[in-house]
């Protein structure tokens, strides 16, 4: 069966005054219906830009998609006309943003904003749209939905606002939802509730979910597979289980080691040395080499392709797994440097 969404070798660049920033350099990933893909990476690794390119909401200029394919339900979105693409947004695919307060229009009531989906895509009347809005608010468990439908975003708490964002994305039962750090602006208990809600709604509707995050704790609970991004490339792609058991890329290893752990309380927390590269001047060879504990001379000259990770007998893994590291084998077995 063909995947719901398949991104192939996507290239995005930003033409800035200081030069061309290559934000996405050949990203490939896919999501099936009912599946959750977590895209992981530091700020500026290109994870949000990839999502914006998929949604077609990249600010252009300065952002341009310069290559690759985004195949959604068998059609290449990049070859679609602007109007056809607009109709796909919201209806077939939707996005949840990080900060619900700034993502909701302060001068419109939440009921209006929820109902807008039905008015734009379904031509519903004002009254029907309002009724649908109440229904949606109930669906994401907002208490007293009927009484609160005319309230404004600032009258809701942070968790409730994020629920409203989720309700907006869910309004038309899209096949794919991209959640761009949906829980970053929330405190931990509310985070868990919002993630549970998303997972539950996903089970109900069998939608594909792309979860963009830098929080490894969130990922472990809900994702089926993970793509780790660094400097606009995917450096490791694997199932959640595989990646947590034995990462096959030094960067992933570094990320996992940076999670605070109760059993290591009192010790200094590991941090990956250095800073992410300037996208205007990505280092030659492997982009991670200046920060990599395993870097050797080949890493400074040859850009590693995405190797298929195999088991010890050389057979490909199921589900397939990839790592963009020349020394993935050493990393996989965690041999000392």
Partner 1 sequence: MRDPHSERPDDVDPLANAGTGGPELPNSTEVGIDVATEEAESLENADYTHPGDPGTATSATEARSLWGHAWRDLRRNPIFLVSALLIVFLVFVSLWPSVVAGGSPYDCDLAHSREGASGSHPFGFDLQGCDVYNRTVYGARASVSVGVFATLGAALLGTVLGGLAGYFGGWWDGVLSRITEIFFGIPILLGGLVFLSVVPSGSIWPVIGFIVLLGWPQIARIARGSVITAKQNDYVQAARSLGASNSRIMLRHVLPNAVAPIIVVATIALGTYIALEATLSYLGVGLKPPTISWGQDISTAAPQYRNAPHMLLWPAAWLSVTVLAFIMLGDAVRDALDPKLR
Does the protein bind partner 1 through residue 55 (CB under 8 A)?
yes
Helix H, strand E, coil C: the string for 105-162 is CCCCCHHHHHHHHHHHHHCCCHHHHHHHHHHHHHHCCCCCHHHHCCCCHHHCCHHHHH
Q: How far is CA 198 from the centre of its chain?
A: 14
Shortest Cβ 154–partner 1 spacing (Å): 8
Q: Select the span of 54-62, 204-212, 229-237, 260-268 touching partner 1 (CB under 8 A).
A: 54-62
CA dihedral over 217, 222, 227, 229, signed as positive or negative: negative
The Cα–Cα gap between 236 and 306 comes to 8
Q: Select the span of 25-33, 34-42, 140-148, 238-246 touching partner 1 (CB under 8 A).
A: 140-148
The Cα–Cα gap between 171 and 94 comes to 9
Does the protein bind partner 1 through residue 168 (CB under 8 A)?
yes
Residue 103 vs 289, nearer CB to partner 1: 103
The Cα–Cα gap between 71 and 75 comes to 5
What is the x/- site pattern for partner 1, positions 86-125, by CB under 8 A? xxxxxx--xx-x-x--xxxxxxxx------xx--xx----
β-bridge pairing 176-180 and 208-213: parallel
Does the protein bind partner 1 through residue 81 (CB under 8 A)?
no
Shortest Cβ 86–partner 1 spacing (Å): 5
Residue 167's region, left for phi above 0, alpha for psi from -120 to 50, else beta, is: alpha
Does the protein bind partner 1 through residue 193 (CB under 8 A)?
yes
Residue 95 vs 134, nearer CB to partner 1: 95
Nearest-10 crossing angle of helices 126-139, 158-170 = 120
Shortest Cβ 280–partner 1 spacing (Å): 22
Residue 4 vs 165, nearer CB to partner 1: 165
What is residue 200's three-state secondary structure?
A: helix
Compute φ and ψ for 217, nearest 5 degrees: -65, -40
Does the protein bind partner 1 through residue 169 (CB under 8 A)?
yes
Q: Answer yes or no: are the C-beta atoms of 232 and 67 closer than 8 Å.
A: no
Shortest Cβ 91–partner 1 spacing (Å): 6
Does the protein bind partner 1 through residue 155 (CB under 8 A)?
yes
Residue 147 vs 271, nearer CB to partner 1: 147
Give me the residues that bind partner 1 (CB under 8 A), please. Answer: 55, 57, 61, 86-91, 94-95, 97, 99, 102-109, 116-117, 120-121, 138, 141-144, 147-148, 150, 152, 154-157, 159-160, 165, 168-169, 171, 189-190, 193, 196-197
């Amino acid at each position: 069966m063909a995947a719901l969404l398949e991104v192939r070798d996507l290239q995005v660049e930003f033409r800035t005054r200081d030069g061309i920033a290559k934000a996405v350099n050949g990203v490939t990933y896919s999501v099936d219906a009912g599946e959750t893909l977590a895209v992981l990476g530091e700020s500026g690794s290109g994870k949000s830009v990839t999502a914006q390119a998929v949604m077609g909401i990249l600010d252009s200029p300065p952002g341009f998609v310069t290559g690759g394919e985004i195949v959604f339900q068998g059609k290449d979105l990049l070859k679609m006309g602007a109007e056809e693409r607009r109709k796909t947004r919201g209806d077939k695919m939707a996005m949840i943003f990080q900060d619900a307060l700034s993502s909701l229009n302060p001068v419109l009531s939440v009921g209006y904003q929820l109902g807008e989906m039905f008015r734009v895509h379904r031509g519903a009347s004002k009254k029907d749209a309002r009724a649908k809005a109440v229904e949606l608010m109930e669906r994401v468990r907002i208490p007293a939905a009927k009484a609160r439908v005319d309230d404004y975003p600032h009258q809701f708490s942070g968790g409730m606002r994020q629920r409203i964002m989720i309700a907006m994305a869910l309004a038309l039962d899209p096949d794919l939802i991209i959640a761009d750090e949906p829980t970053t602006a929330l405190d931990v208990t509310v985070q868990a509730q919002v993630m549970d809600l998303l997972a539950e709604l996903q089970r109900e509707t069998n939608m594909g979910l792309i979860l963009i995050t830098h929080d490894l704790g969130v990922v472990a609970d809900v994702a089926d597979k993970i793509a780790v991004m660094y400097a606009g490339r995917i450096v490791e792609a694997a199932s959640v289980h595989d990646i947590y058991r034995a990462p096959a890329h030094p960067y992933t290893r570094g990320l996992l080691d940076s999670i605070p752990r109760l059993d290591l309380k009192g010790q200094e927390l590991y941090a990956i040395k250095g800073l992410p590269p300037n996208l205007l001047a990505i280092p030659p060879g492997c982009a991670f080499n200046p920060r990599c504990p395993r870097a050797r001379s080949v890493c400074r000259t040859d850009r590693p392709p995405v190797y298929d990770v195999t088991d010890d007998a050389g057979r490909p893994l199921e589900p397939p797994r990839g790592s963009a590291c020349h020394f993935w084998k050493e990393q996989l077995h965690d041999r000392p440097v």
